[in-house]
Amino acid sequence: MALLDQILEHNQKFVENKEYEKYRTDKFPQKKLVVLSCMDTRLVELLPKALNVKNGDVKIVKNAGAVIAHPFGSIIRSLIVAVYELGADEVIVVGHHDCGMSGMDPERTLNKMKERGITDEVIQTLENSGTDLHKWLEGFKDVTESVAHNVSLIKNHPLIAGDIPIHGMVIDPATGKLDLIVNGYENQK
């Protein structure tokens, strides 16, 4: 059975059996917290358990590497919505060891695209129009530095209020151990 069919078959039973009932809550984070983290598969269940958050406690924003690629991109916009519209009072950026974004080789990724049929012409056209694909596909060298950098970007963002603590942590994707990188209570502007 194709994956999509498996999902739909499961879903029908999930709803019929009212398995959703134990997850019922509302859109406002009870712990008044928004977390920015990585899409890594090991963190899907581990991160909430390690942070002791469950459905209804927190807003979680995820992407590859828990990084902010643009000061007015969708990550910052999500944090702004969480803070101003949904009542989040604190932000935690959680990077992790062994992150896929820490070993990114833009040239390798571009070659994989070419193997899948993306033409040189398309890549050249994008680069000629001012999109630096190499820079865009580049990850980070050190997760601790990356977390500190992203905390700083949020903290210094002109649209983020100064009284919101912005914390930074790195999680071990094997054990769930959290190392504190930035204590946001100490860096309020």
Binding residues (CB under 5 A) for Zn ion: these are: 38, 40, 99
Tokens 């398309």 found at: 122
Q: How far is the CB of 150 from Zn ion (least distance, A)?
A: 13
In the bound complex, what is the minimum distance in angstroms from residue 99's beta carbon to Zn ion?
A: 3
Shortest Å, Cβ 146 to Zn ion: 10
Q: Within 13 Å of residue 57, how many CA atoms lie on the same side as its CB?
A: 8
φ/ψ region of 52 (left if φ > 0, alpha if ψ in -120 to 50, else beta) reads left
Choice between 83 and 95, CB closer to Zn ion = 95
Nearer to Zn ion, 29 or 65 (CB): 65
Q: Which is nearer to Zn ion, 93 or 164 (CB)?
A: 93
- Smallest separation, CB 21 to Zn ion (Å): 33
For 134-158, b/e burial (b = at least 16 CB within 10 A) is: eeebebbeebeebbbebbbbbbebe
Closer residue to Zn ion, CB minimum distance, 143 or 164: 143
